[in-house]
Amino acid sequence: MTSPTMEHAVGDPASPQPEASGGHAASYPRFLWRSLSMATDGGPLFYAWMFLLTALALVGLNGWAHQAAEGMIATHMTDHVSWGLYIANFTFMVGLAAGGVMMVIPAYLFHDKEMHDIVIGGELLAIAAIAMCLLFVNVDLGRPDRFWHIIPLIGRFNWPISMLTWDVLVLTGYLAINLHICGYLLYMRHLGRKPDPRWLMPFVLLSIVWAFSIHTVTAFLYSGLGGRPFWNSAILAPRFLASAFITGPAFIILTMLVIRRTTHLKIAEGPIQTLISIMRVTVLINLFLVASEVFTEFYTGGSHVSSARYLYFGLHGHSGLVPWIWTAIAFNVAAAVILLTPAVRQNHKLLAAACTLTFIGVWIEKGMGLIIPGFIPSTLHEIVEYAPSLTEWKVTVGIWAFGLMIFTVALKIAIQVYTEPSVAEQTAPRSP
């Protein structure tokens, strides 16, 4: 973006505040009011987009209401396949949240000044993705009123024995860290001051470590289940991290391309090229890890080869997931070929196609291609196939729409805060 970055913000941390008469107690409420005003003000395209997302979110809310009234029988999950589309999306969203904050690494650790402009976008994506994670977990509960059982200090928190409790801690902690970073950066820009490194850098560095932890802990949550041998793989956590480094940059690139097409905001080409370079490597690593897993499954004929055979080729006449996984592989391979083509750096339509293909491919691979086969065959050696019900699709679409609403509103506020004059610039005396 051509807007001032954090390093170029007006003022000095030690300089007096433009609203010093009331201090932060007066300026922060004004900042929140200004943010609310910016979040609800836009052009026809913005209102049309928000209207569509609101409609889809209401469809999802209606589906969840029917599910809550009728019980989990409204879904196609059973005692044989107890995790379905909701947990598949939860797993994917954890990776998206982790990948979204990975913009921080080149921006801060490698001092890439141009990347500073899109760091806030990655942090906001992480917030929206974590919010969606929590919603997917909530709708997956047969009794959502029992959600309090996994709340620390209130519920029955079996920490540190239960991996689920570790997942709760890292997800909520990650959300709190990113809320602080985003809120602090936007508030300082609103005041026209440079962020104080004491209040920023420790949390930035912590967010990098925490981004690795949320996806690693989620992988351990699956691989630690001894009764599900399909997930008992030492490379499950590296696979999760590799996919996170694909989906996060892919979504940020698509977001920047949309902003370029729909607004007058100019975005520097440097960050896009940096993200392309990251994706060129990670998309190949992801394919390599999948190939390694496939080799181990079929060549050695381990205890969970039945699950892998069901996933890739079908088992005893059952092949519900075969089209899903081969579509994912085709999309990921096609995206890798496109990304390795030199023309992708100049052709943004080709770049958007590659990002879309790999985003959908990883969504299938990390979701339906990972969660469902773990239950097939069951512990009783029965094959009970699963396909999401209409209610599940409605709820899933509604949660995605709500998450995109959060991201859209937050991004709109950030863009306006960084492009409009700050309080210090508005109140600075003009030279004659």
Separation of CA 296 from chain center: 29
Across 52-63, average pLDDT: 96
Across 161-166, average pLDDT: 80
The encoded tokens of residue 299 equal: 């060549």
Handedness of CA 169, 153, 225, 230 (dihedral sign): negative
Q: How far apart are the C-alpha atoms of 301 and 289, rounded to whole Å? A: 18
pLDDT band at 5 (very low <50, low <70, confident <90, very high): very low
Q: How far apart are the C-alpha atoms of 427 and 94, rounded to whole Å? A: 43
Across 206-216, average pLDDT: 86
pLDDT band at 167 (very low <50, low <70, confident <90, very high): confident
Domains, the chain, ordered by start: 54-420 (1.20.1630.10)
pLDDT band at 415 (very low <50, low <70, confident <90, very high): confident
Judged by DSSP in three states, 315 sits in strand
What burial letters (b/e) apply to 350-361, b meaning 16+ CB within 10 Å? ebbebbebbbbb
pLDDT band at 109 (very low <50, low <70, confident <90, very high): low
Q: How far apart are the C-alpha atoms of 374 and 392, rounded to whole Å? A: 19
The burial of 65, by beta-carbon neighbours within 10 Å (0-12 exposed, 13-18 middle, 19 or more buried), is given as: exposed
CB 418, CB 2: distance < 8 Å: no
Across-strand partners of 318?
A: 315
Residue 132's pLDDT is 95
Judged by DSSP in three states, 318 sits in strand
Nearest to 88 by CA among 395, 421, 322, 371: 371
The mean pLDDT value of the chain amounts to 84
pLDDT tens, residue by residue, 355-414: 999 999 999 999 899 999 999 888 788 889 999 999 999 999 999 999 999 999 999 888
Q: How far apart are the C-alpha atoms of 108 and 401, rounded to whole Å? A: 31
Residue 14's pLDDT is 42
Q: How far apart are the C-alpha atoms of 308 and 310, rounded to whole Å? A: 5
DSSP string, 126-169: HHHHHHHHHHHHHHH-SSGGGGGGGSTTTS---TTT-HHHHHHH
How much of the chain exceeds pLDDT 70, in percent? 88
Handedness of CA 349, 353, 354, 355 (dihedral sign): positive
Handedness of CA 233, 238, 239, 244 (dihedral sign): positive
Q: How far apart are the C-alpha atoms of 343 and 363, rounded to whole Å? A: 26
Q: How far apart are the C-alpha atoms of 133 and 403, rounded to whole Å? A: 9
Q: How far apart are the C-alpha atoms of 219 and 222, rounded to whole Å? A: 5
Across 83-90, average pLDDT: 94
CB 267, CB 255: distance < 8 Å: no
Q: Would you tell me the crossing angle of helices 305-312 and 322-339 to the nearest 10 degrees? A: 70
Helix, strand, coil share of the chain (percent; to 5): 70, 0, 30
Q: How far apart are the C-alpha atoms of 27 and 423, rounded to whole Å? A: 10
Max CA separation in the chain (angstroms): 85
Count other C-beta atoms under 10 Å from residue 68's C-beta: 16
Residue 12's pLDDT is 42
Phi, psi angle pair for 135, to nearest 5°: -70, -40
